[in-house]
Amino acid sequence: MNDVRPKSEAELRDLVTQAIALEYLKYQRPSSHESKPKWLQLFESSGFVAIVTVVLGGLVGSLVTSRFQEKSKQREQQVARIQLEHDRSLAAFNEHLDRERKIVDEMLAKVGGLADTARGLSQLSRAEWSGKDQPAAEQARLAQERHKIVERYNQATAAWDADRLRLGILLGLEHDNNPELLEAWRNAGIKVEAYSVCCDRWRMKHNDLAAHEAEQGCSEVLKELDSALTMFTDRLIALRKSHTTAEIGEASNK
């Protein structure tokens, strides 16, 4: 076995000196961490990374929350605006229906009033209204009653003549002068006038009819009037449905 021990005291001292020098250099050489600048060491530290993560996360979270709240507020404003427009439109539509209903009620009242009083004239053709072979007092009473019936007819005729044109114009305004509706109203007016004239002529021509005979007076003209009124109301109902459907569709699109 080779002997590696130093051959002399001088060699031993040299080896010790080299070892001490190496150890000194080892402790004097800066580490890779200590050789980096302070700002780089700060950036690479786990604490700094944690702080940056929290700060950036908070900023991003605040930004997202702010945008979400802004969008939500815009949606709420849009919904409120649409609801307001719908409420206004619905209120206007209901007002239109109220005006139309009043006009139609007055129309039918005028037509019904004229037709009813005209029928009263036709009933004067019955024999019991003639007063024939009746005492003078009874004849006077019957004459007074006949006068009342004629007077009611005259009043209904005057009211019809005064309001027929006005009511037609008002109805046209509510339905944009719908030609079919106005034509149906004009036809109903023609038929009720024809019936009233027929009944007046009937009572002037007859005064001794039985009850069932008097009921036949102007019956065909009355059927034509009924048919004309049915056409008028059917057209009116169709327009109401179309307006209601359009209103619902507009509200759904909003």
- Residue 209 sits at φ, ψ, to 5 deg, of -90, 155
Q: What percent of the chain has pLDDT over 90?
A: 47
**pLDDT (tens digit per residue) in 19-29:** 555 545 554 55
For residues 181 and 236, the answer to whether their CB atoms sit within 8 Å is: yes
pLDDT over 80 at 121, yes or no: yes
Nearest alpha carbon to residue 180 among 99, 237, 248, 102: 237
* Average pLDDT along the chain: 80
State the helix-helix crossing angle for 46-123 and 136-174, rounded to 10 degrees.
150
HEC string of the chain?
CCCCCCCCHHHHHHHHHHHHHHHHHHHHCCCCCCCCCHHHHHHHCHHHHHHHHHHHHHHHHHHHHHHHHHHHHHHHHHHHHHHHHHHHHHHHHHHHHHHHHHHHHHHHHHHHHHHHHHHHHHHCCEHHHCCCCCCHHHHHHHHHHHHHHHHHHHHHHHHHHHHHHHHHHHHHHHCCCCHHHHHHHHHHHHHHHHHHHHHHHHHHHCCCECHHHHHCCCHHHHHHHHHHHHHHHHHHHHHHHHHHHHHHHHHHHC
pLDDT digits (tens, 9 = 90+) for 150-206: 999 999 999 999 999 999 999 999 999 999 999 999 999 999 999 999 999 999 999
Degrees to nearest 5, angle at CA 107 with 175 and 177: 20
pLDDT at 247: 57
> What pLDDT does residue 1 have?
47
> How sure is the predictor about 57, in pLDDT bands with cuts at 50, 70 and 90?
low
Grade residue 235 by pLDDT with cuts at 50, 70 and 90.
Answer: very high
Domain boundaries, given as residue ranges, for the chain: 96-253
Share of the chain above pLDDT 70, in %: 72
